[in-house]
Amino acid sequence: MLGQAYPDAVVELDHTNPYQLLVATILAAQSTDKTINTITPALFAKYPDANALAAAAPSEVEKLIVKSGFFRNKAKHIIGMAQAVVTRHGGEIPRTMEELCGLPGVARKTANVVLGSAMGLDVGVVVDTHVTRLSARLALSTHTDPVKIEHDLMAILPKAQWTPFAHRLIWHGRRVCIAKKPDCDHCTLAPHCPSAFAAVQPKDPSPRAEWNAKQRAARKGTAAAVATSKKPAPKSRSVAKQPRAKRA
């Protein structure tokens, strides 16, 4: 059904080679593909390959990626990644999970994106926030850990479907089965979905949702602390002096 609904589903980060997709995927953390696609043209024009990016000044890279959020850490990651690619792999993006995960800023999800979408290698299943959410709603996995979810999906799916299935699930999560209010009325999976039309949808167990909740709590705590510090100190109560007793 997902294949019929999204026959052309692909990764939505603009790229022309593995290097570009790797950089874009690192930048996409805690951001959106749409935002990253507005940033990368200028970035790739100035740093067209790993060799160029490896020699870049962090301050110059930061200026180009500031809209991605957490731009200082991301600049550090993509420059470090490029330097490792140059020194360890002769400037070519490696083609194995182990080698990719050995690069700065690269974890299993990012490696799966690059291997599956830029190299045509079905090594695993991309598990992002959408795949995590929909795997729970569709009862494909009971886990919240991305690696465990990936293993569950790999056991269910034929290997040739590992990459396209993830793309289709991500597209469905972005367009129909959204986090706060899934559109069950227009969902082709509704007749087979155990969560369809539920009064309360299963809570999004993704690490990103947990991170966002912690950030909101931290901001509230900071605001409360600031408000408390601005309150004037309570005035001490003075004890009225008692008149001295007259001497007899």
Q: What is the pLDDT of residues 140-177, one digit of tens each?
A: 999 999 999 999 999 999 999 999 999 999 999 999 99
Nearest of 87, 109, 108 to residue 98 by alpha carbon = 108
Q: From the CB of residue 218, how many other CB atoms can be counted at a distance below 10 Å?
A: 10
Residues 97, 75: Cα–Cα separation, whole Å = 22
Residues 28, 40: Cα–Cα separation, whole Å = 11
| Topology of the domain covering 6-118 | Endonuclease III; domain 1 (1.10.340)
CATH of domain 129-192: 1.10.1670.10
Which active-site residues does the annotation give?
A: 109, 128
Domain boundaries of the chain, sorted by first residue: 6-118, 129-192
Residues 17, 100: Cα–Cα separation, whole Å = 15
Q: What is the pLDDT of residues 101-139, one digit of tens each?
A: 999 999 999 999 999 999 999 999 999 999 999 999 999
Nearest of 156, 154, 85, 148 to residue 123 by alpha carbon = 154
